[in-house]
Structure 1
Amino acid sequence: MAQTDAHTELPTPQFDKPVKLLIVQSPYYKEIAEGLLTGAKAVLDAAGASYDVVQMPGALEIPPAIRIAHVQSNYDGYVALGCVIRGETTHYETVCNDSSHGLMLLGLQGACLGNGILTVENEQQALVRADPEGQNKGGGAAAAALHLIALSRSYASETKGVGFKPKSETILVAGRGEGTTTA
């Protein structure tokens, strides 16, 4: 068994406006999924965030579910929870790679999300990582989503300016001679 090194955990961000997240959980391995969900809820509750929970059949359905919500809803962020345990076939690699890649693409497109999909060799490894009293990766995924929301909000009020014009609060636009000339 590998030695567990201490790692740094950033303090949970504080928010002055409400934060709402969607937790997308695959209950394929029920005990593991419930442990991850318990950890995620604890972190979100401590941060004062509200959340909804939806379930998908497996890890491959989690990225499309988040994409649907990201496009059609008003959530600030997302938490992906599930578990993939290595089996006897190469299906493990497909599920791990595709679900991870899907989540990364969503993040690069601006979705504030935490990846709590465990990819492990056996059930014991998953149980350790889903233990609400231990190194719960569901809580870590929720914290990651909160940090990305905080970062996103910190940049939301800044504007970059237009063309050669320095950034300002008002941008003049061409009008038809009537109505407003600012955007």
Structure 2
Amino acid sequence: MAANEEHYVLPRGTVSKKTKILIVVAPYYRAIADQLIAGARAEIEAWGAEHDLIEVPGALEVPTAIGMAERLSNFDGYVALGCVVRGETTHYETVCNDSSRGITLLGLQGLAIGNGILTVETMRQAEVRAEVEGQNKGGGAAAAALHLVELARKWGAPRKGVGFRPAREDTILAGDPQGSDTV
């Protein structure tokens, strides 16, 4: 059983400068989500970072919300949380695969994301993985995001600005019939 196997965990770090993490959670199974959130918050605070929390309808919406936040806000990293329990249909595979794929694609674009979306066969498996005093997968996802934030900073990854750039002198506005001196 994987729960009984020993595994290595990177030592807890600290942030090198002010850091804000967005926790995005799909609270379909509220008790599981609350444990994941508690673990993530505790880990983020232990690193000396700040966090915001948003809820989305389901695991499929988690990567979309992260992508929107990256384009429209100024977070340094993201924690994806939720739980998908196998049911009687193939919907389980769709949700697991597509939410994971979306998060992976965002990560490959340079976003620092810790994936804490549990994919389990039973509610008992979810409980064991989510418990803060147990496997604490929410805390693990937060630690992963923070390690990636610090790695990006180490390598000097530039952060894009948010908003519009001022218009240049030679900019032509749509709808301007002359396209000349009104800018």
TM-score norm. by structure 2 comes to: 0.84
Partner of 2:128: 128
Query: Are the equivalent residues in 2 in contact too, given 1:12–1:146 (CA < 8 A)?
Result: no
Shift of 1:16: 2.7
2-side partners of 1:36 and 1:2: how far apart? 19
Per-residue CA shift, 1:82-125, capped at 9, x if unaligned? 00000000000000000000000000001100000000001000
After TM superposition, the structure 1 = structure 2 runs for residues 143-158 of structure 1, keeping only pairs within 5 Å, are: 143-156=143-156
| Aligned residue number for residue 141 of structure 2 | 141
User: Equivalences for 1:40-79 in 2 at 5 Å?
Assistant: 40-79=40-79
The alignment-based identity, stated in percent, is: 61
- SS state at 1:139 partner: helix
Report the residue type matching 1:156 in the other structure: G
* SS of equivalent to 1:79: strand
- Deviating above 3 A after TM superposition, structure 1's stretches of 4 or more consecutive aligned residues are none
- Matched position secondary structure for 2:60: helix
* Rounded Cα–Cα distance in structure 1 between residues aligned with 2:19 and 2:3: 36
Taking the aligned partners of 1:88 and 1:15, their CA distance within structure 2 comes to 44
Please say if residues 36 and 81 of structure 1, whose CA atoms lie closer than 8 Å, have aligned partners that are also in contact. yes
Q: Is the 8 A contact 1:22 1:53 kept in 2?
A: yes
Give 1:17's aligned amino acid.
K
For residue 31 of structure 1, report the CA deviation from its aligned partner: 0.4
TM-superposed CA distance for 1:12, in Å, is: 1.8
Return 78-87 or 149-158, whichever deviates more.
149-158
One-letter identity of the residue aligned with 1:128: V
Code of the aligned partner of 1:104: T
The RMSD of aligned alpha carbons is 1.3
Residue 167 of structure 1: aligned partner: none
What is the rounded CA distance, in whole Å, between the counterparts of 1:70 and 1:22 in structure 2? 10
Q: How many residues align?
A: 158
Deviations 1:125-181 (A, max 9, x none): 0000000111110000000000000000001179xxxxxxxxxxxxxxxxxxxxxxx
* TM-aligned CA deviation for residue 60 of structure 1: 0.2
Shift of 1:45: 0.8
TM-score of the superposition, structure 1-length normalised? 0.84
Query: For residues 1-183 of structure 1, what are the structure 2 equivalents within 5 Å?
Result: 4-156=4-156
Residue ranges of structure 1 left out of the alignment (5+ in a row): 159-183
What is the CA-CA distance between 1:15 and the residue it aligns to?
Answer: 2.1
- Pick closer, same or farther for the CA change 1:123–1:97 going to 2, 3 Å: same
